[in-house]
Structure 1
Amino acid sequence: MSREILTVAEMTQADRQAVEQGLSIDLLMDRAGFAVAEAVMKRFPPGRAVIWCGPGNNGGDGYVVARCLHDKGWSVRVEAAAAPATEAAKRAAALWKGETVPLSPSPFPADLYVDALFGAGLSRGLEGDVAKLACACAQLNEPVVAIDLPSGFNGDTGRRLGEAVFCADLTVTFHRLKVGHCLYEGRAACGEVVVADIGLPASEGTASLFENTPDLWERHFPWPALNVHKYQRGRLKVVSGDAGKTGAARLAARAGLRIGAGVVTLLSPSGALAENAAHLEAVMLAPFESDADLRAAGEAADAVVIGPSAGVGETTVRNLFALAGTGSALVVDADALTSFRQDPEALFSALDRDDVLTPHPGEFERIFPGLLARSAERISATREAARLAGAVVLLKGPDTVIAAPDGRAVVSLNGSPWLATAGSGDILAGFIGGLIAQGMTSFEAACAGVWIHAECGRAHGPGLIAEDLPNLAPAVLAGLLARRPSVKRSGLASGR
């Protein structure tokens, strides 16, 4: 099942639908509080707990947590930021028979703290004693558990609403992830995130934003049939830069080969042939002198990667236009993006929905100037970029976002800091190009390429360099293959 990511409004609607179908708010609050208590008890030994409760239903959840932990032998103290303001929170507070005192701006000594103050629905910054407590909590050594979302963050953007915010070691949310759990600032403040099922009705088919996991695309992954040959596994071509600027394209080509493309060819300017030939084995090599040569080469390809060390300037612009007329899907990266910084519309005019743009934030700003700054968050920005470009757009980062022109979008949560190394993006472009060449749709190929790329980074860890990544891909692919019971024992042809 695909993992939906909801906005605050969508989550509110899910709660409303549950009530309309006969589930009471009190029952949902009990289930939520029990889920938080259960997550706490699985991870921490009984001890002293302080529950910080706000006036709304998030605070109501906190009163339920207090009751559950107390029943399991914990010493529990509730600190209320304000009197309960919703009917459900009032009823939950009335059922709590233990100690309740006003919120202190300094943490009371305890073994564990629970932030049940505001959750994902907060729309303004923290104030007064709550803000003071948030600042004081930055010095805590004891664990903090947040209900729904650490207080002080916007549930729809993951951004701080003010200077004072809470951070958690564990966040327990309900039904589905929210946008604020997935985008970087909020995600970094959440610690471990647990999504608890509290019995809300499924909303499959209505969401357009998902977490990027294999569930989303693995049924379309291009595993080869037993009788396949190399040309049926896809023809990928990669455009090299001039002599002295060839390494990035070779990285992309090798990545495309490792991800399964049957035939990968590096298209090299004549002056760089010797340099490229000295480093290539299974990747084929073909010269080109002009954009007309590139057009002919592109017509014999399923996908072409252009940009890694291609050079910034008019030559790359002409080369991209030549390839755009061939019908091959393009993966446009790095220098090919920057070459259009003075005229992004010209780039968009050459693209179609089978093409993929793979900018980092700086490149994104060059071809979509001001879009990130004026968007609520990077998901909205990437969706708008895909609409403007008429192509798939992949905005790199710790919370990589991929969007299609039709509005579909995913956020990748398996990113690794070890991927922040020169050449890593070239490998990603090659992975995506190789998957498109094998027949995946461009959106799904971008999603799969990003996920596999991140898993390679996580598998290696410290010391990773870009050259390591292609050789890590087979183990990740084997793991994906093992998820398919129908092919576990079939034995796949290696091609011929």
Structure 2
Amino acid sequence: MPKTQEFVVQTAGEIWTTDVVLAPKAMAEVDAAAIASGIPGYDLMERAGQAVAATALRSFPEANRYIVLCGPGNNGGDGYVAARELAACGASAELYHVEELDRLSGDARTAFERCHLPANPLPTYQMQPGDVIIDAIFGAGLSRDLPPELAERINAITAAGLPVLAVDLPSGIDGATGEMRGAAFTASKTVTFMAQKPGHLLLPGRDHCGSVEIVDIGIPRRMVEAARGALKRNHPGLWQADLPRANLADHKYRRGHVSVFSGPFNGTGACRLSAAAAARSGAGIVAVAARRSAVAALVPHLTSIMLHSVDNELDLAHYLDDPRHQTFVLGPGFGDFAQARSFALAIGHAQRTLVLDADGITAFKGKVDELRDAFADVTPRLVLTPHEGEFHRLFPEIAAENAKGKVEKTRDAAGLLGAIVVYKGADTVIAAPDGSAAINDNAPPWLATAGSGDVLAGMIAGLIAQRVPPFAASCAAVYLHGEAAKLAGSPMTAEDLLEAITAAMASITQD
């Protein structure tokens, strides 16, 4: 079951944050830059291995044996250092190598030679109760399927229920995409170095990591910052400064106007959820724009939410004549694909901002070019919030690129549309056309309930209406959506989620 990731940061004197996310290739460049600056690579390996040993002793003091499984690269080198340190502390440590020892070279060879513990082929390992596995086989650099015999061994250890401490990333998880490469350890804890990798945050990798410790092994922070690029972990530090603050000079129109389109007479619940979420997110005025046939169904349910009749394209044109009507939500429960396309294009050509969700997304299947052209602008005015099925329908070619992970696919979709794309899930990815992207990991499992996506669409629109930039508004709304779900607790309905938005926002915006 997808869970919120826990991060613990160990530092060597510097303040370290957990929003830095480095792809394996970028991390390799950081390592190379550190070595080129005069920091011996073996010193980095020593610090990494020592950190692993310390974590093993601290987290699994009850272990009868520490079984250290070492691969042929630097991840294996970290394992050899860890095994040596464990033995030096009086712990029982046994070494097993996955590939032939003559493949070891460089710093990993040095680590092995300084270990002075016998190393045995992995197939000779016999599991015993009380064993703790230290997985130093592949780490974050894996980008290919595991050999079948290794996958079989990993599955056997997993079936035995032995605790696993992973070095960098559980072996079998692709560090760039979070995908499983045939099989993967499920770790109780993972120790990684300098920065988290996408595989720690994206599913299914996140479910295989356990709690994650990010250890500073002495690479200057400036080198990490130089390599971090535009990918981040979504948290308040990214967007908190953009959120609106209460001002005595405010009035309702200054705080923004959101219009949410309603579905038919028997489908008004989704729009009411979106409208209420926009209001609870701080929008000054929220209105439901409804077909005449649905007005009677909406009247008994709307109090602070205004109601307007927008039955067709001509009605919408008149509605758009009011310059205060700037931010729209279209799609939740809407139903009519042809009218959804027509309304969305009219909003785009009128230079307004649109959050397109649910039926609004599906309505543009095979017609992405029309949507892009209607919202072409320097600053994105369109936000899409697809779940996996909607993403596949709207972007079939991008979705079919199996070599790419969720981050790359979301970025490609955002670039194609010139829009903010919020690719929803337990590991929601938010991306902008300029390549900026954030991975969200605070959503509890019970957020997967009917209507929660309608609430999210309204929250995004509510923040945009208050002049929060669309990318920041999307990141903030996704995070606050998860926090509200935590406050609501399990089991939860979308109505419960609405009630928790105010408290979630207050916890972030309070000085």
Q: C-alpha distance in 1, partners of 2:473/2:226?
A: 21
1:174 and 2:196 are equivalent in the alignment:
no
Aligned pairs for 1:382-397 (under 5 A) are 382-397=410-425
Paired with 1:437 and 1:466, the residues of 2 have a C-alpha distance of: 22
SS where residue 204 of structure 1 aligns?
helix
User: What is the letter of the counterpart of residue 225 of structure 2?
Assistant: E
* Counterpart amino acid of residue 113 in structure 1: I
1:53 and 1:463 map into 2 onto residues whose CA distance is: 43
- The answer on whether the counterparts of 1:146 and 1:170 sit within 8 Å (CA) in structure 2 is yes
In structure 2, how many angstroms separate the alpha carbons of the residues matched to 1:107 and 1:462?
42
1:366 maps to amino acid: R
Partner of 1:337: 361
CA contact (8 A) 1:106 1:136 kept: no
Structure 2 stretches lacking a partner, 5+ long: 1-16
Q: Distance in 2 between matches of 1:22 and 1:226?
A: 56
> What are the Cα deviations for residues 136-155 of structure 1, in whole angstroms up to 9, with x where unaligned?
11212231011011112222
Summarize deviations over 1:436-474 as a string: whole Å, max 9, x none: 001111011111111111122233332111111111112
**Preserved contact between residue 46 and residue 74 of structure 1 (Cα < 8 Å):** no
Relative to 1, partners in 2 of residues 1:95 and 1:2: Cα closer, same or farther, differing over 3 Å? closer
- Whole-angstrom distance in 1 between the partners of 2:406 and 2:230: 15
Contact 1:107/1:137, CA 8 A, preserved across alignment: no
* CA separation of 1:241 and 1:38: change in aligned 2, threshold 3 A: same
Deviates more, 1:252-261 or 1:457-466: 457-466
Indicate the SS of the match to 2:192. strand
**Stretch moving more, 467-476 or 201-210:** 201-210
**Aligned-pair distance for 1:106?**
4.9
The code of the aligned residue for 1:194 comes to E
Q: Which 5+ residue runs of structure 1 have no aligned equivalent?
A: 483-487, 489-496
Q: Which residue is equivalent to 1:130?
A: 150
Q: Does 1:465 align with 2:493?
A: yes
Residue 93 of structure 1 pairs with residue 93 of structure 2: no
Deviates more, 1:70-79 or 1:148-157: 70-79
> Which runs of structure 2 are paired with 1:218-233 in the superposition (5 Å)?
218-233=240-255
1:267 matched to 2:286:
no
What is the CA-CA distance between 1:258 and the residue it aligns to?
0.7
1:323 maps onto 2:347 in alignment:
yes
> After alignment, is 95-104 or 237-246 more displaced?
95-104
* Residue equivalent to 1:22: 38
| Aligned: 1:33 with 2:33 | no
Out of 116, 119, 133, which is 1:113 matched to? Answer: 133
Q: Is the 8 A contact 1:145 1:168 kept in 2?
A: yes
Counterpart in the other structure of 1:452: 480
Q: 1:282 to 1:42 in 2, by over 3 A?
A: farther
CA RMSD across the alignment? 1.9
For residues 408-487 of structure 1, what are the structure 2 equivalents within 5 Å? 408-482=436-510
Q: Does 1:303 align with 2:339?
A: no
1:213 to 2:229 alignment: no
Cα displacement (A) at 1:157: 1.9
Of residues 121, 126, 148 in structure 1, which corresponds to 2:168?
A: 148
8 Å Cα contact 1:255-1:428 kept in structure 2: yes
Distance 2:296 2:262 in 1: 12
Alpha-carbon distance between aligned partners in 2 of 1:239 and 1:205, rounded to the nearest angstrom = 44
Output the amino acid matched with 1:104: P
Q: Report how far residue 198 of structure 1 moved.
A: 1.2
8 Å contact from structure 1 (residues 402, 409) kept in 2: yes
SS at match of 1:61: helix
For residues 220-239 of structure 1, what are the alpha-carbon distances to aligned partners after superposition, in whole Å with 9 as ceiling and x for unaligned?
11122233222211111111
Q: Which amino acid aligns with 2:423?
A: L
Q: Using the alignment, how far apart are the partners of 1:301 and 1:205 within structure 2?
A: 42
Q: Displacement, 1:68?
A: 2.5
Matched residue of 1:414: which SS? coil
1:402 is paired with a residue whose SS is: strand
Match of 1:236 in 2: 258
Find the aligned partners of 2:461 and 2:504 in 1 and give their Cα distance.
18
Separation in 2 of the partners of 1:140 and 1:459? 36
Matches of 2:164 and 2:37, distance apart in 1:
34
How far apart are the structure 1 equivalents of 2:292 and 2:57?
66
- C-alpha distance in structure 2 between counterparts of 1:354 and 1:431, whole Å: 16
Distance 2:73 2:470 in 1: 44
Aligned runs of 1:352-363 on 2, under 5 Å? 352=376, 353-363=380-390
Report the TM-score, using the length of structure 2 for normalisation: 0.90
Q: CA deviation at 1:100?
A: 3.1
Question: How many residue pairs end up in the alignment?
Answer: 482
SS at match of 1:297: helix
Superposed displacement of residue 323, structure 1: 1.9
Paired residue secondary structure (2:239): helix
The question of whether the paired residues in 2 share the 8 Å contact of 1:305 and 1:332 is answered with yes
Closer, same or farther: CA 358–105 of 1 in aligned 2, 3 Å: farther
Which residue in the other structure is 1:399 paired with?
A: 427
AA of the residue aligned to 1:440: V
* Cα distance in 1, alignment partners of residues 352 and 339 from structure 2: 19
Take 2:161 and 2:77, find their aligned partners in 1: how far apart are those partners?
Answer: 26
Report the counterpart of residue 58 of structure 1 in structure 2. Answer: 75
Deviation per CA, 1:341-377: give whole Å up to 9, x if none: 2422222222241210111111112221231111511
| SS at structure 2 position matched to 1:232 | coil
Q: Are the aligned partners of 2:422 and 2:429 in contact in 1 as well (CA < 8 Å)? A: yes
In the aligned structure 1, how far is the partner of 2:368 from the partner of 2:153?
A: 48
The CA distance in 2 between the partners of 1:22 and 1:138, in whole Å, is 41
Q: Share of identical aligned residues, percent?
A: 41
- Post-superposition Cα deviations, 1:52-80, rounded to whole Å, max 9, x if no partner, equal 11121111101121123233342211112
Distance in 1 between residues matched to 2:148 and 2:258, nearest whole Å? 60
- Verify the 8 A CA contact 1:52 1:116 in the aligned structure 2: yes
Does the Cα contact within 8 Å between 2:335 and 2:359 map onto a contact in 1?
A: yes
Q: Which residue of 1 aligns with 2:86?
A: 69
Counterpart Cα distance in 2 of 1:342 and 1:61: 50
**Aligned residue for 2:121?**
102
Say if 1:107 and 1:136, in contact at 8 Å, map to a contact too. no
Shift of 1:213: 0.9
| Residue equivalent to 1:493 | none
CA pair 60-295 structure 1, distance change in 2 beyond 3 A = same
Structure 2 counterparts to residues 285-304 of structure 1, below 5 A? 285-298=307-320, 299-304=323-328
> Partners of 1:388 and 1:73 in 2: how far apart?
58
- Spell out, residue by residue over 1:311-336, the C-alpha distance to the aligned partner (whole angstroms, 9 max, x if none): 13222222222222333210011111
- Give the AA of the match of 1:10: A
Please state whether the residue corresponding to 1:330 is helix, strand or coil. strand
Equivalent residue number for residue 371 of structure 1: 398
> Deviation of residue 105 (structure 1)?
5.6
What amino acid maps onto 2:313 in structure 1?
D
**DSSP 3-state at the match of 1:50:** strand
Deviation at 1:107, TM superposition (A): 4.5
Distance 1:107 1:231 in 2: 71
Q: Distance in 2 between matches of 1:108 and 1:2?
A: 35
Alpha-carbon shift at residue 265 of structure 1 (Å): 1.0
